[in-house]
Every structure is written in C-alpha cells, then in structure tokens.
Structure 1
Amino acid sequence: MDLEKQPAPQAPPPEGCLTVAIRIPVRIVVLVLVVPVRLVWDALVVVGRFLRDYLVRPLWRALVVWPCVALWRYLVVPVAKAVGWLGKVLLVVPLVWLYRYVLTPVGHGIAWTVRGVGAGLVWVYARVLTPVGHGVLWVLKGLGAGLVWILTLIANGLAAVVRGIAWVLRGIGAGLTWVYARMFTPVGHGIVWLLKGVGAVLAWIFTPVGRAIVWCARGLAWLASAVVTGIGAGLYWIARILLVLPVVALWRWILAPVGRALAVVGREVWDALGHAWRIAGRISLVVGRFLATLFRWIFVEPVRWVYREILTPVGHVIRDTVLRPVAEAARSVGRITRAALASARESVRQARADVRRMLFGDAGGTREREAVARREPQAADTRTLGSSTTALTKD
C-alpha cells in the first residue's frame, strides 16, 4: 500500500490565440479536401480487394500454382524416380556386386598375405636379427671403451696446454694494468684539469652576452604578443558587431517567431489531417452504406421480388402444367417404345424359331420348349441343402 502522496498531474500548457484562431478553419478546409481523397481511396481499396479475390488470386493459381504443381507431380517426380531407378541399376547394383564379389575376396586375400608376411618378419626378427644385434652391440661397447680411453688422454693434454696459455695471459694482463695505473691515469687527470680551466674562462666571458640576448628575445616576444592581441581584439569586436549581433537579432526577432508560428500551423494541419481522415472514413462508410442500400433497393430487391412473386409462381405453373405432363408423356413413350421393341424382339425370335422348324424339324423347338419349361420352378420340388429354387441356377 502506497502511503506517500502522489504528485498531482500537470495541467497541459495553455494554447495560444494563434492556435485557437487557425484550428477550426484549417480543419474545415482540410476536411473538404480530404473527403474526396478518402472516398477515392476506399473505392480503390474495395476494387483492389475484389480484383485480388476474384482476378489476381485465380489467375495466380491458374497460371503459376497449378502449372507448378502439375510440373512437380507429373514431370519432376516421375523423372526423379526414373533417375533414381537408373542410378540404382547403373551404379548401386554394380558397386554392390563389385564390393561383394571382387573387393571382398581380394581384401581377404591381401589380409591373408599380409598376415603371412608379418609372421615371417617376426620369425626373422626373433631368430636372426636379435642375435646379430646382440653381437654388434657387444662389439660397439668394446670400441666405445677404447675410444673413451683415447679421448681422455687427449683431453688431459689439451687441459695442460690451456693452463699454460692462461698463465701467460695473466702475466700480460698484470703488465697492462701497471702501465694504465702508473702512466695513463696521471696524464688523463692533467688533461681534465686543463679543460676545466678553459671552460671556466669561456663561461666568464660569454654569460653576460647570453643574458642580454635572452632579455632582447623576451622583449620582442612580448611586443609581438601585444600586437597580435590588439589585432585579435579588434577583429573580434568588428566581427561581433557586423556579423554576430545581426544574426542573433535575426534569429531572435524574426526566425524564431516565424518558426514557432510555422510549427503551430504544421501541428494543427497535421492534427486536422488526422481528424479529417477519420471523419472522412466515417463519411465514406456512410456513403458506402447508402450506395449499398440504394443498390439493394434499386436492383436487388426488385430482382428478388420479381423472382419470388413472378418467376417462382410462373415456374411452378409451367412445371405443373407443362413439364410434368411432358415428362409423363416422355415416360409413356419410353414404355411404349420399350414394349414395342420387346414385341419386335419376340416376333424376330418366333420368326427364327419358325424358320428353324421349317429347316430342321421340331426337335429344336421341343428342346427349346423343354429348356424354357425348365426355367420355371416345379411345384412338387422342395428346397433342400443341395438344390436351389432359383430358375437360373436350378439343375
């Protein structure tokens, strides 16, 4: 629970008289200008959606989607399957056969050969090379011991020679040290004392001259800095009076007020455009509904009334008085035609039977009558598991 006092919300800054003066006229003018644009925009949106749903999308499906699907289904997939089958037949099966019946036996043979060669090499190493190596190692050990004894003698001789050379060098170094300490050091001290005296004389002579030169240089530098400072101050005030102050005055008394006024006008115009666009949307919606209602009452409702009150009863009357009798007549004609065709077939059958009797006698007719009679079930027969009462399957 917050027990502290919340700060009061700040009130919006008051609007100026310019804002209040230009707001209503600007909004009226912008509304008048924006309403036709919004109506045209909404009409274009409706037309665009209609074209998208009923023209562009079906055309896209008919010209792009369905051909691509058909191409994929009836060309790419069968070709891919055929290529896969060819690859299997031409590559996979031969490679499998080659691996199974060629490379595998060859690999087994190579492995057997390598194992045999390895076993032979192991035997040679264990039975031949190892004894030979041991003998060679014994010989090398003997040679190494002899070489070590010889090298030891040589090293002792060289050490004696080096010690003699070192004794000679120590004697030479002691002589050079005595010469440096007894001869070169006093001479060097004298030269240093002489150079110090010469330096003191030169310093006593040239020090006042250097100080005078430094004092003159400082005076010239001060004079140059004073001149440059004066010129800079003059140029600064000239530039301030001729450039800065007019620019500041122009910005403060002309550009800033004009900019604020233009900002207010621009903000109001932008707000007016937003309000006008929303109001134009409402107006466009009302106009659209009005036009839709007008279209419905002018076209749709009359068509519906004509269909419901005129065409439907007329259609029912035509159906009941014309179409149904015509259909009945057509069905009657069909039945009569089928009966006539059946009678004609029966007449043709009887004619063939008469011709057959005239040519071959009554035997064929008797068999035909018996066959026809057998197609009808006999009343005395009863139905059993091994018999049938159907005329077509009865034995």
Structure 2
Amino acid sequence: MDLQKPPPPPPPRQPEGCLVVAVRLPVRIVVLVLVVPVRMVWDVLVAAGRLLRDTVLRPFGRALLWVGKALFVWPFVALWRYVAVPVGMALAWLGNVLLVVPAVWFYRYVLTPLGHGVAWLARGVGAGLAWVYARVLCPIGYALTWLLKGIGAVLAAIGIGVYTAVAWLVRYLFVVPARWLYTWVLAPVGRAVAWCARGLGHLLGLLVTGVGVALYWTARVLFVLPALALWRWVLAPVGRFLAVVAREVGDALGHTWRVAGRISRAVGRALGTLFRWIFVEPVRWVYRTVLTPVGHAVRDAVLRPVAAGMRAVGRVTREALASARDTMRQARADFRRMVFGEPRQPAAVDRREPVAHDTRTLGRSTTALTKD
C-alpha cells in the first residue's frame, strides 16, 4: 500500500531575503572573472592540439605506417609469394611423386591381390566349417536333444508319482480334518454369534426408532406446525396481496410509459414541423430560387471561361516545351553529326516477320509464316 501512494509534494520554496540577493551578484562577478581566463587557456590548448594533430602527428603517423609496411608487411608478402608458395608447390609435387604414387601402386598391385586371396581362403574355410556344422555338429545335437527329452520324460513320470502321493497325504492329513472342524464346530458357533448380533442390532434399532419418532413429533409440534401455520395463514396471503399490488403498479408504470412516449413523439413531430416551416423551407427556397441560378450564371460566365483559358494556356505551354525539346534534340543531333559524322547503320536481318500488307487474310489459304 505504501508503494502505491503518490510521492509527497516538494516543500514550498522559502522566500529569499535581501541579503541573499545582495551577495549573489558579487559572487557571480568574481566567478566570471576567474573562469574566463581558464576557458581562454583551454580554447588555446584545444586549437594548438588540433594544429599539432593536423600538421605533425598525422603526417608522422602516416610515415610510421609506411615504414612499418616497408619493414614488416611487404617483406613477408614477398617471402610468401616468391619463396613459400613455390617451395610448397615443389614439396607437394615431391610428396605426390615419392609417397602418393608408390602408395597407390602398392595398394593396387600388392594389397588388392593379397586381399582377394585372403577373401578366397576365408570363403573356403567358411565352406568347410559349414560342412562340419551340417554333417557333424547337427546330428550330434539332434542325438543329445533326443536323449535329454527321454531323461526329461522319465523324470516327469517320477515327479508326477511323488506329487500324487504327497497330495493324497496332505488331503487326508490336513484338508479333511479342517473341513470337518469347519462344518461341525466353527460354522454352528458362527451362526449362533450372528443370531445374537442380529437380535442385539434389532433391539438397538427399535430403541433408536422410538427415540427418533419422539424427537420428530416434538420438533414437528414445536417448530414445523407453527411455521407451516405462519406461512399458510399469514405470509402467503400477505405475499399474494403484495404481489397483486406490485403487478398493478408495474402495469400502471408500463401504460404510463407508453402514453408518455406517444405524447413525446407528438411534441417532437410538432417541433420538427415548426422548425422545418420556420428555417428549412425558407433556406431551401433561397437555395433553389436565388443561389442555384446565381451559381449557374457564375459557372457559365466566369468559371468555365477561366478553366478553358487555363487549359488553353497549359496546352500552349506544353506545345512550346515540346517544340523547344525537339529543337534542342535536333541541335544536339546536328552537332554530333558535324563532329563525329553519320552514325553507323545496323545491318538488316531477315527475321521472316510479315509486314502489314503480307499478313494472312480471310480470302487467302496461306499464312504469313509459309510465305517466302
């Protein structure tokens, strides 16, 4: 909230006394006397610095730049252009002749045949290994698989017998006694406990129902019936009366609003008619009978002749300018012809383009492109 507050207004300026005014003028005079010489010295130093820069430092800098280029740049450029580049090209040629060409020959005539031989040998070894796999290892694998399947079947039969014996023992040692205990002991005891719980719950339900009925009738007699009687015999009639009154008031307001609108419309139309009779019709009559004829007369007698004169002046001016341009162009052409002679005419080229009188017409069967 403090950040949204506007800043406090500045304190009002205190009025200055005569002592402040009397001291201000001498101080300003003294400061002026002290600052003027300093500023003059500063201007002299600036002018001297500019003169020194233009007459000494800049030519000296250009000379140093030329000396630096002559001592450092141009020798290195010449060394690069006339020594390093030729030596590099010679070294590149020697490297190509001594390294690249022998390496290519060695790859093409030694390594490539050797690689083909190794590949052929590898393919032979692969074919031998494939024959060993297909003719030796696969039959041995099939035999081992059949043997393992037989051993697995025997072990499965033994496991099924053991599982059957263990299941029979578990059934008659644990399951049957547990089922008998549940059927003849635990189930009757549970039914008895459930019957006792249902009876207790029914008794509690009867008690709660009785208490609830008593509380219901008490609340109904003490609160609901008085409130219902108040609503039915007091509030509802009063509300109906107030609703009728409000509806009648609304209808009256609507009717009065519509009547007032009609009256207002009639008054507005009367005022509009009066305004039209007093102001609009006289102005329209003056415009039609006075201003329009005067305007037509001014247009026909003044504006149109003036516009025609201006167009004629513009046309004459344009023609004069065009003739002046043509004269200047002809004078330039004559001067150019007098100085340089006649221009060379371009050679005519037969483009087989039809002229106006040789084009195709409706009475001919040939076209312009098939003519000689």
Query: TM bucket by the smaller chain?
Result: 0.3 to 0.5
Q: TM-score, normalized by length of structure 2?
A: 0.39
Q: Which has the higher contact order (CA 8 A, sep 6+)?
A: 1
